[in-house]
Every structure is written in structure tokens, then in C-alpha cells.
Structure 1
Amino acid sequence: MRITRRGFVAGAAAGVAAGAGLPLRALAEISLGGARLTTVSDGHLMLPGSFVFEGLPEAEVAAIVEPMGVSPSALEPPCNVTLLRMGDRVVLFDVGAGPDFMPSAGELAANLDAAGVAPEDVTDVIFTHAHPDHIWGLLDDFDEPLFPEANYMMGRAEWDYWWNPETVDSIAAERQAHAVGAKRRMEVIEDRVKRFDDGEELLPGLAAVASFGHTPGHMSFELRAGSESVMILGDSINNHHVSFAKPGWEINADQDPALAAATRVGLMDRLAAEQMTVVGFHLPGGIGRAEKDGAGYRWVAM
């Protein structure tokens, strides 16, 4: 596996200097077999600390996050959309927030353009889940799919949950807008989406990995080439601080905190034991690995 973060960022800067016109906010790139995985920025979120830390022991939280320069009261997690180029496939894992969620996010289209990827070049869009920062970027200003030539794929359990008309009334009040927004976008692609299940191979070497809890049908994805593999996590591990140091803690950002914690513990154990490279939507740098650190783990960006 070849890590090319420095060369990629340098090349991006050269492109701007040559007149590309847009700053390419791409964080890292790796090669795996004949595939290239790139993290492309959609900006960042602006969240109260309670979104993650509510109900957790304050002193322990502060001891974990403050040495990292993270505020316990305000969070600005990055949004890293994964771009996979493999043979004739140009694949996006999630589509970012679009213009209607937060002013600090919604930069994916501009950064893809700077990377030389036009919307019509995208052959496949694969969703980890249907939260706003992952699916609201699906539509353009005319409520048409931004990626008009793409095949769309979503886990069956995730699709069924957000498609269910009872979800908007059963979800927590602060998430009801998420349900309405997801359903509106899913209606546009209803006739074009493939639903898949845990373990299913979606593209050659790319398999779905159930990672339920953050949402009821959240999926991660393992890309394998020979003896090497990369795990695209989505939000199954959605921060680089408390979820690494204390993976068994139940996090307020997860819809089913207990299930998400169990999923996270299992993932951490596997990722660290196998020293697997991971791509995380909200992890600084986008690409890295989980290392064992005492009773917990730590995030090491590449």
C-alpha cells in the first residue's frame, strides 16, 4: 500500500498555481492494488460539545480532549468524503452536506472540480448512512441528482429505516429534520438505488460491513487487494478523541448509543490487531490507523 499524502497535496497546490482557480482541500491519498482512495473535504461541522459529550464524565472528557486542542464545549469535526478511482469506476462514499445544512460544509462539488472530477464522471455513489452531512449533497439547485450518471447504493436496513413514514414521529425531536431531509432526497433516487446487505460485494474487492448503531443500518466498507485492505468507516467511529480512548463509552451523537459502542469496540479490536488502514469521515487527516494505547486506542493520521 502506498501513502502519498505529501505528494498529493503538493500536486494540488501546483494545480492552483497553474490556474486551476479553486483550492483543492484534499487531505490524503493512498493506492491499494490498482485502486486510488482520496479523501476530499466537504468542509466541517460546527456542533456543541454536548452533541458528543452529553452524559459522559466531564473530568475524564476534559483530560482526553484538552491535550488534543479540542474544546469540550464546541466541536468542528472535518467532513472527509472518500473518492475511489478503480479501473473505469469513479466512486463516492457519501455526498456531503450540500448547501442547505451548515454554512461551514457543502464544499464537495467545488473540491471535486478542483481535483478534475466532474459530477457526470461519478459512476457510483455508495452511502454509509443517511444523516444530513452524508446525503444532503445528493441534489443540485433544481432538486435533481447532482451526479446524474451514477448508480446509487444504500444498505437495505438503512434505506428501510429512513423510508418508513413512522420514522419522523419516532425519532428524537432534534433529528426530525434529518428524517424529512433524508426521505426527500431518497424519493428522487428511489427507482435508481440498489439496496444491499452485510457482506455483499458491491464492486470487485469492495464488500459491505454492517456497523449498526450510529444509525440503524449504518454500513462501513472493506476494500481488499490481495493481503492488504482498507476500511472505510463512515461514522461508525466518528471522532478521534473519546471514541478512541474510551470506545465502550456511549456517545450522544449515535442514534443507538449502546449498539454503536459495541460496534465500535469490535471495530477497534480488529483494526488495531490487523493494523488495517482506515478512512474516517470525521477523523482528522481522513486516512490513518488505530493503535492500541493502554486500555484504549489512539488515532494516527497518515
Structure 2
Amino acid sequence: MDLKRRTFIGGAGAALGLATLPRIAMAELKLGNASLVTLSDGHLTLPASFIFGPMPEVELAPILADYGLTDQPLTPECNLTLYRDGTNTVLFDAGSGATFMPTAGTLLDSLDAAGVAPEDITHVVFTHAHPDHLWGVLDDFDDPLFANAAHLMGRGEWHYWWDPDTVDRIGPERAAFAVGAKRRMEAIEDATDFFDDGDEILPGIAAVLTPGHTPGHMSFEIRNGSDAVFVSGDAISNHHVAFARPSWESGSDQDMALAAQTRSALLDRLASDGTTLFGFHLPDGGIGMVEKAGDGYRFVPA
């Protein structure tokens, strides 16, 4: 799709116009008078076993072959969603910042490409508190980067990471996640409000509890009349096995069984409703549709 083309997607997204932006600000979509754009924060570099470790090796092999995947490190995109309705400028998640991975942390460049300064952000809404979603909330001087913004996090997610026992319970491979989350949450505590499952956190934006990846993981339905989009965070964390075999447990999820239940139900809902999906780690800017494919599903980039 080139810069001058504008396409329209069917189903519930029939009124949603989609056009590409420069790669650093990945793709833009219209929802009534509002717009949503995905902003690249670079990509992660993960060992394949981080996701595939718990999966049945023999059954996994043909799926990996279908997607051209091997045992080499995975490099999933990091796509933040920016929503603007003329009153509010809402950033879903804050990216990795400069200290998590050298391949991530490009959000400021993406914001600049989209013509948005950090001080323009009115709300930062978190899906969850893993490093690639939270650590970018502070600048290089450990001050809040989005100084004018209200910060919104699900009540259960906040309490989980705020709990001093979490660092001991989460396991040694994720202990640094807990320490890093607590430090950043302390810095934004006075600017943070909480919400619960089903709350309308801003006009037209409703919170949807999608637990398992983390205990209090939240997704968001953004609606304008009969049109809607769904910001899924890491409830659907890849475009291959998560779609082809959503019931398989993934090593990237903290509660693997619960995450698989959540993922299966969510993909069924999105495929049935024809709702446009914004996925944090999905390819081609993360915007697309969910389609049934045999016993599973497939991601169709918009």
C-alpha cells in the first residue's frame, strides 16, 4: 500500500479508512471523527524458546515452517496505539524506554514523525506493566516523560506490581520486571488513576479484562456508533502460533493456562464480530483482521 492509497475494510470496519504513514509511524485508521495511528517502538529480540518452549514440538514444526520461522531469535514489532478525537490525545502504553533492549525504545522518534510531542499527550493508558509497555514512561533523567498526562492502569494490574511480594513470587527470570515496574510506578503514582473491567475510561473507550499474560492485563474497545476497534496489548502476542493454535500455552504468558483461555475467546469474538484489531506485537504496524482458518485463525494485516 503506498502513501497515496486509501482503502476500506469490510464488516464492522466498513467506515474505517486506512492509509500508511512513514514506517516509523506505522499506519493510520479513521474511526468517525477520531483517528488512531500505530507508532513503532522498534522491536524485541527474544529466544524462540521464550514462546515455543511449552508447545508440542512435533505439532509445532509445520506451523513454524508455514511462517518461515526457525529456532533463531524472534523479532516481534512493538506497535503502540495513539488515539486522537480532537479533545483527547491518548497513548496506549509507553514503550520500552532506552534501557530495556537496544532494538526498542524508538517511540519519541515515532511521535515526532506523527507530529506529536510528549507534552501533547493527555492520557497514557496501560494494558499491563511489562517492560516494553511501561518502562518508557520515564525520560533519561527518570522524570515522567508525559508530564501533562493522566496515567490510567487497571486496578488489579497496579496492585499486582505494587505488592512487595511479587518480586519473590514471579520467578527469577522475571524478577527484574517487578523491580523495574515498581520503580516506574512510584514515579507516576500521583498522576495515576485506576479503572476496572467494563469501565468507560474515556468517552467511547471501554476497558476489557483479558488476564493471563499478566494477572490484570487489560484490552480496550474503542467504539463510534456501529464501528469499533480493539486494542489488545499482549492478550494476542504473535501472528503465528497464537492464531493457529490459540489454546496452546505460551511461555511468554505468566499464567499460561488462563492466557490460552483468554486468547481463544478473544479471537473467536474478533473473528465473529469483524472488529479491527490493533496488536502490540503483530506485524505490518499491528492493524488487521482476524479470520477463521481451519481449526484456528489467521491475522490479515489491513
8 Å Cα contact 1:50-1:73 kept in structure 2: no
Unaligned runs of 5+ in 1: 13-23
| TM superposition shift of 1:28 | 1.5
| TM superposition shift of 1:64 | 0.9
Aligned-partner Cα distance in 2 for 1:71–1:33:
42
Unaligned runs of 5+ in 2: 1-14
Aligned-partner Cα distance in 1 for 2:49–2:127:
24
| TM superposition shift of 1:60 | 2.2
The aligned counterpart of 1:126 is 125
The aligned counterpart of 1:4 is 18
Letter in 2 for 1:62: A
Moved over 3 A (4+): none
8 Å Cα contact 1:53-1:72 kept in structure 2: no
| TM superposition shift of 1:33 | 1.1
Aligned-partner Cα distance in 2 for 1:269–1:55:
23
1:52-97 deviation per Cα after TM superposition (whole angstroms, max 9, x unaligned)? 0002122322211222222333200000000101122111000110
SS of residue paired to 2:258: helix
| TM superposition shift of 1:111 | 1.2
Pair 1:240 & 2:239 matched = yes
Letter in 1 for 2:91: L
8 Å Cα contact 1:65-1:72 kept in structure 2: no
Pair 1:53 & 2:69 matched = no
SS of residue paired to 2:188: helix
Aligned residues: 287
Aligned-partner Cα distance in 2 for 1:136–1:123:
18
| TM superposition shift of 1:282 | 0.2
**Residues 1-302 of structure 1 mapped to structure 2, 5 A cutoff:** 1-5=15-19, 8-9=20-21, 12=22, 25-285=24-284, 286-302=286-302
Aligned-partner Cα distance in 2 for 1:83–1:271:
21
SS of residue paired to 1:291: strand
| TM superposition shift of 1:51 | 0.5
Aligned-partner Cα distance in 2 for 1:60–1:43:
31
Question: Larger helix proportion, structure 1 or 2?
Answer: 1
Aligned-partner Cα distance in 2 for 1:102–1:93:
20
Aligned-partner Cα distance in 1 for 2:262–2:33:
30
| TM superposition shift of 1:217 | 0.2
The aligned counterpart of 2:11 is none
Query: RMSD of the TM alignment (CA)?
Result: 1.0
The more displaced of 285-294 and 55-64 is 55-64
Instruction: Report sequence identity in percent.
Output: 59
SS of residue paired to 1:290: strand
Aligned-partner Cα distance in 2 for 1:127–1:134:
7
TM-score under structure 1 normalisation? 0.93
SS of residue paired to 1:47: coil
Aligned-partner Cα distance in 2 for 1:70–1:271:
26
Aligned-partner Cα distance in 2 for 1:43–1:3:
25
8 Å Cα contact 1:26-1:40 kept in structure 2: yes
TM-score under structure 2 normalisation? 0.93
SS of residue paired to 1:48: coil
8 Å Cα contact 1:231-1:277 kept in structure 2: yes
Aligned-partner Cα distance in 2 for 1:3–1:284:
19
8 Å Cα contact 1:138-1:146 kept in structure 2: yes
